[in-house]
Amino acid sequence: MPKDFAYRLRKIPPYLFAEIEEKVNRKKAEGLDIIDLGIGDPDLPTPRPLVEEVKRQLDDQENHRYPSSGGERDTRVAVAEWYGRRFGVDVDPDREVAILLGSKEGLANIARAFVNPDDHVLCPDPAYPVYAQGATLLCDAVPVKVPLRERDGFLPDVDLLPSDARMLYLNYPNNPTGATATPEFLKDAVRWCSETETILCYDNAYSEMTFDDYIAPSVLEFGREAIEFGSLSKTFNMTGYRLGYAVGDPTLIAGLKKVKSQVDSGAPKFIQKAASIALGQYNGRSRPAMVEDSVKVYKERRDVMVRGLRELGFNVTLPKGTFYLFFGIGGSSIDFANRLLDAGVVVTPGIGFGQNGEGFVRMALTQPVSRLEEALERMRKAL
C-alpha cells in the first residue's frame, strides 16, 4: 500500500508543540520536576454542578443515541438565549447557530464549506495554528499572513489587507498575545469584510476570560455578515468535553452544518445538556459565580507573573484577556524555551505561532501561584 501522506498533508509543517511535548516527556522521564506553562489547558476543575449534570444525563438512555450533527435544538436555543443576555444580539436558534465538537472543529470545517483550492485566506501571524493549517492548507488554499505587531496592540489595519481573499480569521481576546479588540477595530473589520466580500470568521473562544472591567464583545454586535466561534472549553474549564458553538450569518451556518452532516454526528447529547445548563447560569452580561471564580484565579496568577517577569527585566504587558502572557525575549524563541526547559520550566516559543511570533515566548497561566513563583525563581537562576 502507498505510505506517503496526501500532498495537502505534506504541506503542513511539523507541529512544534508535538516536538516540545516530546522533549518535555524526555525531561520528565529523566526525573526533572517540570513546571508546564506551555499548553493553554486550564488546570482548574470543571464546576461541580456541571460534572453532576453530565453524570445525571448519562443515566438517561435517550442521551446514548446519535445526536443531530448541527446540534440538538435545546442546545441551540440555549446558545441563542445566551447571545441575547450576554451580547444583546438576537439570534435565531434554527438558522444562526451550530453546535460544535469544540470550536477548533468549526474553525477548520468552515473553510471546507466556503474555501476553494487556491483561494487566499487571511490568517493572523502570530496566531492559533488552525486557521492557516487545519483550515486553509487542508483545503488546498493559500494562507496569506496578516502581521500582528506589538506596537499596534496586535491589531492589524484592515484597510491595508489585500482585498482579493476569500476569508479572514480574527481572534480577540487573542491567543497567543493576550490582546483585546476595540469596538472601533471590530466595526472596521466588519465594514471592510462587507466592502471586499471577504468572509469574516471571528474566534471568540476567550470571550469570558477577561480582566479589569474589560468585557469582550461579540463581533455580531457590529454586523451580522460574519460567523463567530465560541467554546465552553476555557469559560467553564471544559476542554476535554469538546463543546463549542458557531453563531452568525445563516448561509455560513448552513454551509458549516452541511460539512458537519457529512463528517461527524454531533457532540454527545449528555455534554450538550450540561452545556445548556452552563450557559443558563448567565443572567445578563456579567459572569456567573462559577466563571468569575476561575477568572479571579487567573487574574491573581497574571498579576504575580507579570510583576515577577518585570522584576526580571522583561517588558510584559498586563493582558486584559486570555490566560496567556506574550513577551519579547530579544533573541531566538526556541533557544530561550530550551534554556528554560533545562531549568524545568516549559514555555512556548513564539515562532510556533508564526514568523511574527519570533522573539517572543508565550506563558500559559495554568499553574497555581506557588508554582509560578517557583518558575520565576528558576528563571532568575537560569537567565
Ligand X SMILES: Cc1ncc(COP(=O)(O)O)c(C=O)c1O
Query: Which positions lie near ligand X, rule CB under 6 A?
Result: 40, 102-104, 128, 171, 175, 203, 205, 231, 233, 239, 244
Q: Are 50 and 44 in contact, with CB atoms under 8 Å apart?
A: no
Nearer to ligand X, 72 or 203 (CB): 203
Least CB distance from residue 122 to ligand X, whole Å? 16
d(CA 345, CA 348): 10
Nearer to ligand X, 131 or 376 (CB): 131
Nearer to ligand X, 186 or 205 (CB): 205
Q: Are 178 and 362 in contact, with CB atoms under 8 Å apart?
A: no
Least CB distance from residue 59 to ligand X, whole Å? 26
Least CB distance from residue 322 to ligand X, whole Å? 8
C-alpha 207, offset from chain centre: 10
Least CB distance from residue 156 to ligand X, whole Å? 16
d(CA 168, CA 146): 9
Give kind and range of the element (H or E) at residue 18.
helix 16-29
- Beta strands 360-364; 324-328: pairing state: antiparallel
Q: Assess whether the previous peptide bond of 47 is cis (omega < 30° from 0).
A: no
Least CB distance from residue 204 to ligand X, whole Å? 8
d(CA 96, CA 167): 19
Nearer to ligand X, 124 or 308 (CB): 124
C-alpha cell at 260: 458537519
d(CA 193, CA 135): 19
Give the contacts of 383 (CB within 8 A, at least 6 positions apart). 312, 339
Nearer to ligand X, 68 or 231 (CB): 231
Nearer to ligand X, 260 or 308 (CB): 260
Nearer to ligand X, 57 or 366 (CB): 366
Nearer to ligand X, 232 or 379 (CB): 232
Least CB distance from residue 234 to ligand X, whole Å? 7
Least CB distance from residue 233 to ligand X, whole Å? 3
Least CB distance from residue 171 to ligand X, whole Å? 5
In 3-state terms, what secondary structure has residue 325?
A: strand
Beta bridge partners of 199: 167
Q: Burial level of 133, CB count in 10 A (0-12/13-18/19+)? A: middle
* Identity of the residue numbered 331: G
